[in-house]
Amino acid sequence: MSAPAISISPSPWAHRLKDFPLGLPEACLWLALFFLLTPYLGALLLGLGLQPPQRLPIETRVLAQSLLTLIFMAYFAGFRRGKPVDLGLGLARPHIEIAWGLAACAVMGLVYLAGLGAAWLGFLWWFGSADKLAAWVRSSPISHESSAYVLSVCLAIPVLEEIWFRGLMYPPMRLNLGRWPAIVFLSAIFAAAHDTSLPVTQFIGGLVFAWAYEKRQSLIAPIILHIAGNSVLVVIGWAMQQGILRL
């Protein structure tokens, strides 16, 4: 009597990757256009013509990126017959995804605290002082400037960045590179896209957001994680400005 055959279910990503409307070159082109056109569109919104200022106000940048996202979504749906669910924007089980995202936030917070504590002890043991680490921590938080700034950083930017980096870029990168190479490489691109000299927190955040998208196939969880991470940085920045927190 022959042994029963063992059925191995395919990866839940198999169907998503096979039917994703965009290939990797086209996705990379759209991401490049997103960053290249943002300052020029922002300058037009400010009435500066095609002369971007040295530093675009974050609220204007978010507005420009929102318009570019709408243009991309129209192209994605009209020319590539893509659907919101292809970009991880499906809402089939929002309560489960929200609960998973909140639980992941708690775990991520504990991991960050443990990592910071280990780094602190490492600096004390290696250098005899944690002053360099404290200076880096002080340079990381986002300063509080206005309510529009806070809403942009804590809500709009997480949604936009998750659509472009995880929703658009992750599926074709995963198809071409495999799961973990795609997660690591995309996180490096995500970190490099931020205007900071040492984007360690952005790289770690990119790993967490991509892993959450890999596990859930929905952008709800990584968006919640991204909102939580940015909000913590804003609160720390505000507390440092008010003298409540000193490092």
Domain ranges of the chain: 14-241
Mean pLDDT of the chain, nearest integer: 84
Whether 9 shows a pLDDT value over 50: the answer reads no
CA-CA distance, 89 to 70, in Å (whole number)?
Answer: 14
d(CA 120, CA 134): 9
Q: Please, what is the angle between helix 200-216 and helix 94-127, to 10°?
A: 150
Q: CA triplet 230, 234, 235: central angle to 5 degrees?
A: 115
Cβ(136)–Cβ(123) below 8 Å: no
Would you say residue 239 has pLDDT above 90? no
Mean pLDDT for the stretch of residues 11-31:
90
Residue 17 structure tokens: 């990757």
Contact 171, 214 (CB under 8 A): no
For the residues 44-67, what does the mean pLDDT come to? 93
What is the predicted pLDDT for the residue at 63? 96
pLDDT bracket for residue 51 (50, 70, 90): very high
What's the average model confidence in pLDDT over 113-142? 68
Neighbours of 60 (CB within 10 A): 19
Band the pLDDT of 7: cuts 50, 70, 90: very low
Measured CA distances, 169 to 15, 28, 121 (Å): 16, 7, 37
Residue with the two structure tokens 């043991």: 125
Of 172, 182, 165, nearest in space to 222 by CA: 165
